[in-house]
Chains A and B, each alone.
Chain A
């Protein structure tokens, strides 16, 4: 079956530091890949997505590249801000369907200090 593995957290950084959150997946076919973010007390919001190999998703300074050869979709940001403190979830939708069921990683808590 499908699975998503994220790096262990929590991650604590100083403002303006570089961020990487690793995500690897196991899936049949050609899944779509997503990063969702959950701010304190809120529901999840889509941060970025990629629907085929070598696609790069980007939003709000965050980037992730769909690497089929390494089955990875690592999230990066060059300079984090305090407002980026949240929980980040990597997820996949199998078969590339636009509304398919999501399989989530366990989430990574990010805390950014001034």
Chain B
């Protein structure tokens, strides 16, 4: 059981470039989400999904797109990177029944120059 995996671990982009942060989980969790972590601000929710084909915006969705074509995968796309998107990104998943525990991936550290 790998849990929640994220790739890449580190990425440097130039302003205006696009990229996709990958997230996958092997626990058959219905719920997946993306957070960004910035110093002194805790984690803020970007987008989330309650199942394949269903996504919704969180607190800070601007500049990011998501899709959920399978239960396992929940990629986060930056269409035109900006320096304000420099951050550490965490993917998380949880079951929608029983446990209220969310499982987090190891994170992706993104720098936009």
Interface residues, chain A, CB within 8 Å of chain B? 4, 32, 34, 36, 41-46, 49, 51, 89, 93, 97-99, 101-107
Q: A22: shortest Cβ distance to chain B, in Å?
A: 15
Q: 10 extra interchain contacts, Cβ-Cβ under 8 A, other than A44-B92, A99-B96?
A: A42-B107, A43-B107, A49-B101, A89-B43, A99-B50, A99-B94, A99-B102, A101-B33, A102-B45, A106-B40
Q: Which residues of A contact B44 (CB under 8 A)?
A: 104
Interface residues of B in 1-55 (CB under 8 A from A): 4, 30-31, 33, 35, 40-45, 48, 50
B100 near A44 (CB under 8 angstroms)? no
B31 near A99 (CB under 8 angstroms)? yes
Q: Indicate whether A43 sits within 8 Å of B104 (C-beta atoms), given known contacts A98-B97, A98-B99, A99-B95.
A: yes
Q: Which residues of A contact B45 (CB under 8 A)?
A: 101-103
Of the A-B pairs whose beta carbons lie under 8 Å apart in the complex, a sample of 5, sorted by A's number, is: A49-B101, A101-B48, A102-B45, A104-B43, A106-B42
Q: Which of A4, A46, A89 contacts B101 (CB 8 A)?
A: A46
A106 near B41 (CB under 8 angstroms)? yes
Q: B59: shortest Cβ distance to chain A, in Å?
A: 8
CA distance A98 to B100 in the complex (A): 4
A93 near B90 (CB under 8 angstroms)? no
The chain A residue sitting closest to B99, CB to CB, is A98
Q: Indicate whether A107 sits within 8 Å of B42 (C-beta atoms), given known contacts A43-B4, A98-B97, A101-B33.
A: yes
Q: Indicate whether A104 sits within 8 Å of B33 (C-beta atoms), given known contacts A43-B90, A45-B104, A98-B98.
A: no
Residue B58 CB within 8 A of the other chain: yes
CA distance A104 to B104 in the complex (A): 14
Interface residues of B in 57-113 (CB under 8 A from A): 58, 90, 92, 94-102, 104-107
Q: Which residues of B contact A45 (CB under 8 A)?
A: 104
CA distance A89 to B104 in the complex (A): 13
Q: Which residues of A contact B96 (CB under 8 A)?
A: 98-99
A99 near B40 (CB under 8 angstroms)? no
Q: B2: shortest Cβ distance to chain A, in Å?
A: 13
CA distance A19 to B43 in the complex (A): 23
